Chain A
């Protein structure tokens, strides 16, 4: 079945350093979404990418969707302690496009 793999599972960075998490799908995705979950909280939607090669920015966050629409990345420039949390990518399930399959997430720790 379809899998959405995400790496790394954990990342510790010093405040001010950059951070990147990668998402890879075994199948082509029509779109990909990114979510952030703060410790003790629930996932909150960040963005959706639809077009091949698309790049979107939200302040210090840059999201990319690969040309083949099978991979995506989230890059954070100059991390801050407020960036702490787990970042998930999610894509439509190949068996039923209505469903959304999540990656296993990358847990980011930012050391002050």
Chain B
């Protein structure tokens, strides 16, 4: 079975804290994605990685960075969390190439106080 695992389902952090969201996939997929989901706005792409150490900015990269040191792991980093980063964060992966379905993790709900 295909599996994308996000490290935390729920996190509560304080403004200014550094936050790490981890995502691991077991399908040997080249492509990995980080989206945030907010009511009425759908899924907005934060960052995308198509290979180890390779990344592209998505629609809303400001305030975020990413790390892909190993193929199976894609981390989202909030250097200094702010209240407007309170959201649901979804990680996804896809096999090689430009098309094909995304496999999503269960999501990480982050609350920044």
Residues in chain A within 8 A of chain B (CB atoms): 1, 6, 9, 30-31, 33, 35, 41-45, 48, 50, 88, 90, 92-93, 96-105
Which residue of chain A is the closest to B90 with respect to CB atoms? A42
In contact, A97 and B98 (Cβ under 8 angstroms): yes
Closest Cβ neighbor of A47 among chain B residues: B101
Does B104 contact A44, Cβ atoms closer than 8 Å?
yes
Residues of B near A41 (CB, < 8 A) are 106
Contact A92 B98 (CB under 8 A): yes
B contacts, CB < 8 Å to A: 31, 33, 35, 40-45, 48, 50, 56, 58-59, 90, 92, 98-107
Query: A43 contacts B41, CB within 8 Å?
Result: no
**From A96, which residue of chain B is reached at the shortest CB distance?**
B56
* Cβ-neighbour of A45 out of B42, B43, B44, B101 (below 8 A): B101
Please indicate the chain B residues that have their CB under 8 angstroms from the CB of A98 in the complex.
31, 48, 50, 56, 98
Residues in A neighbouring B42, C-beta threshold 8 A:
6, 88, 102-105
Q: Are A104 and B41 in contact (CB under 8 A)?
A: yes
* Alpha-carbon gap, A42 to B31, bound state (A): 18
Q: Are A100 and B45 in contact (CB under 8 A)?
A: yes
- Can you list 28 A-B contacts with CB-CB less than 8 angstroms, sorted by A residue number? A1-B59, A6-B42, A9-B40, A30-B99, A33-B101, A33-B102, A41-B106, A42-B106, A42-B107, A48-B100, A48-B101, A50-B99, A88-B43, A90-B43, A92-B98, A93-B45, A96-B48, A96-B56, A98-B31, A98-B48, A98-B56, A99-B56, A99-B58, A101-B59, A102-B42, A102-B44, A102-B45, A104-B40
Determine how close the nearest CB of chain A comes to the CB of B60; give it in whole angstroms.
12
List B contacts of A97 (CB < 8 A). Answer: 98
Between B42, B58, B98, the greatest number of chain A beta carbons within 10 A of the residue's beta carbon is seen for: B42
Task: Name the residue in A1, A6, A35, A43 with the highest tally of chain B Cβ atoms < 10 Å from its Cβ.
Answer: A43
Alpha-carbon separation in the docked complex, A98 to B92 (Å): 13
